[in-house]
Amino acid sequence: MSAPPALPHSIVILGGGVAGFSAAQELRARGYGGVLTILSPEGLPYDRPPLSKGYLLGTEDSAKILFAPARWYGEHDVAVVASRATALDASGQNPSVTLDDGRVLAADRILLATGGLPRRLAIPGGQHALTLRSRADADALRRVLVPGARIVIVGAGLIGAEVASAAASLGGNVTLIDPIDLPLGPAMGEHLARRLHAMHAEHGVRTVTGLPAAIEDGTHDAAPHLVRLADGRSVPADIVVAGIGITPDTDVAEAAGLDVDDGILVGSDGSTSRPAIFAAGDATRTRRPDDVVRGGAARRAKHWEAAVRSGQAAAAGLLGQAPAEFGAPWFWSDRYGVHAEAVGTMDARQEPGARVVLRTEDGTVTGVPAAAFLLAEDGRLLGCAAVDQPLVVRAARRIIDRGIIPDPERLADPTVDPRKLAR
């Protein structure tokens, strides 16, 4: 029997987002006692989802969104360095990173958890659009979200919809622009996506289907900006916000010669093309066991829980251990006082012959959709999306993870206790 691999004496984690913090937490949970450092340019690691929710609304402060208070890092012997890595030397067995203040940190292993960068509007005047990715971004946006402000949000996905909800509740005059009629259709399924999208109008948010072509200097109604659409229509704006997703932050990895293709290419344990370098979170893209990059209909996982799992898996990989088995993917979104979530996949395009089973609030065909289930042709549950139905989603997750073939009639019946669906 071969001896287990030697544990690294020191590990440096680049990035204080959810993947980086989850990796540090998991390393200590697995008994790692070596030197552990997190490079977090913004200071103590914090959670990003509240930035478009409670933090933007002012109901949560900077202390509330921290993953852990300062004392946790002392208790777990984790050093946090508020510096940014500008270069990575991955050429040997003892890699190092150069910091923006000129210091060089060497370590036995390095984990890249550099996250993603907000996509910018690649149109004339696109530089005028604000984005929301960091706490500083949220602070800047909150200062201009004043009653009566004309706010144009480009992108009606998760972030765009949540910003629209917050801006409307703060008294803004909000217009939400997206190139497709039904944003979140593949993520939530048609029925729940329609219910969620209709909530914008119910809360005074104007929705426009169109493709922005330029942000011009405004002359109409004394607005500082005019968002010009490709079909010639225009929308006056005091503030323009771009919520069109993220791109993986791979600059340091690419410069160091790691394999990168729409993300740092990693194995299921976070391993990269360099033996001493691992990567996790939004900056990565996972290879299949046959070494084929996930492509086509598959996407880079960009949700919060996926980043947690990625960090945990990379922590195991750093120690030469097997990562835990994870179940069906899950995400959530809060807007207009409701909690939407989905587990598995609701994209029927990925499964020929799949059908949707709908659970309405009152059990009638014309009732308000509360949950939708996507069933494969053989009866397997592929996914579930719901609004304010956490027990239903939890049951659906158990059904998917255990491979249970559910009864469609029970799924559709709102009188059936969700806790009994997985039995």
In whole angstroms, give the CA distance from residue 64 to residue 40.
18
What pLDDT shows up at residue 140?
97
With beta carbons less than 8 A apart as the criterion, state whether 77 and 7 touch.
no
The per-residue pLDDT for range 206-251, each reduced to its tens digit, is 999 999 999 998 776 678 999 999 999 999 999 999 999 999 999 9
| pLDDT for 1 beyond 80 | no
Phi, psi of 414 (to 5 degrees): -70, -10
* Distance, CA of 98 to CA of 280 (rounded, Å): 20
Task: Give the angle 335-394-339 at the CA atoms, nearest 5°.
Answer: 10
Mean pLDDT on 103-119? 97
Reported as a pLDDT band with limits 50, 70 and 90, residue 94 is: confident
> Do the domains 337-420 and 10-117+247-318 match in fold?
no
Q: 3-state DSSP call for residue 117?
A: strand
Instruction: Residue 115: name the closest of 40, 174, 61 by CA.
Output: 40
d(Cα 113, Cα 314) in Å, to the nearest integer?
10
Q: Which CATH superfamily is domain 10-117+247-318 in?
A: FAD/NAD(P)-binding domain (3.50.50.60)
State the number of CA atoms in the 13 A half-sphere of 3 facing the CB. Answer: 3
pLDDT band with cut points at 50, 70 and 90 for residue 331: very high
- Is the pLDDT score of 132 beyond 80? yes
Mean pLDDT of the 354-360 span? 96
User: Percentage of residues in the chain with pLDDT exceeding 70?
Assistant: 95
**pLDDT tens digits, one per residue of 319-329:** 999 998 889 99
Identify the pLDDT of residue 294: 38
Quote the pLDDT of residue 293: 40
Burial readout 197-219 (b: 16 or more C-beta within 10 A, e: otherwise): bebbeeeebebbebebbebeebe
Band (pLDDT 50/70/90 cuts) for residue 50 is very high
Out of 3.40.109.10, 3.50.50.60, 1.10.10.60, 3.90.550.10, the CATH code matching 126-244 is 3.50.50.60
Q: Residue 59: is its pLDDT beyond 50?
A: yes
CATH code for the part of the protein at 337-420: 3.30.390.30
Is 311 within 8 Å of 322 (Cβ atoms)?
Answer: no
Mean pLDDT for the chain overall: 93
Q: Residue 120 has what DSSP assignment?
A: P
Q: List, for residues 136-186, the tens digit of each pLDDT value.
A: 999 999 999 999 999 999 999 999 999 999 999 999 999 999 999 999 999
Which sequence spans correspond to the domains of the chain? 10-117+247-318, 126-244, 337-420
Measured in residues, the chain has a length of 423
Using alpha carbons, list the distances in angstroms from residue 88 to 28, 82, 94, 254, 316: 24, 17, 11, 9, 22
CA within 13 Å, CB half, 325: 3
The pLDDT of residue 27: 98
For residue 409 the two structure tokens come to 């009639």
The helix-helix angle for 304-318 and 18-29 (nearest 10°) equals 40
pLDDT computed for residue 5 by the predictor: 63
pLDDT class for 291, splitting at 50, 70, 90? very low
Please report the pLDDT score of residue 100 as a whole number: 96
Angstrom distances, CA of residue 97 to CA of 80, 83, 88, 91: 15, 11, 5, 11
